[in-house]
Amino acid sequence: MTGRTTKGAEKVTKKAAAKPAVAVPKLLSGGNPQIPKGYGDAPVQAYIAAMPGWKSEIGRRLDALITRTVPGVSKAVKWNSPFYGMEGQGWFLGVHCFAKYVKVAFFNGASLHPLPPGESKQREVRYLDIREGDAFDEEQIASWVEQASRLPGERM
């Protein structure tokens, strides 16, 4: 009976072949990737990989800049957004995709100098919106990241 398969084995093989190897995350309104909550670098990298179009490159650049500027930074994905923080001190920064831009939220941004340009309804929060084709001022963003990492973080 060598070389013969049973009908049950054929069905299993067909089902396995029909399933995609890696599930593609669903994009929520505005193109924000739906990534399961998780701690560490892996869920953040999954989020960045799922960011649509030009936004993925912005995500890679931001993640590399934050990791380089704040050695030992903690990472997580919560509420379908990457968060960056310091162990035991809370989260200092979050990233979120919108239809036409990537929003970087500095949770204690009102204490940064100079102030990030975007205002918030929350007094302490400041935003940086990065649109396609915008200049990526690495030096300024790194300065804000470094300052933010030294401030008390948000417990979420």
**What is the per-residue pLDDT across 43-58, written as a single tens digit (0 to 9) for each?**
999 999 999 999 999 9
Domains of the chain: residue spans and CATH: 25-149 (3.90.1150)
Rounded-to-integer distance, Cα 81 and Cα 47, Å: 8
> By C-alpha distance, which of 78, 74, 133, 72 is closest to 102?
133
Letter string b/e over residues 18-42, b meaning 16 or more CB atoms within 10 A of that residue's CB: eeeeeeebeeeeebbbebeeeeeee
Q: Look up the pTM and report it.
A: 0.82
pLDDT tens digits for range 102-132: 999 999 999 999 999 999 999 999 999 999 9
> By C-alpha distance, which of 54, 71, 141, 78 is closest to 106?
141
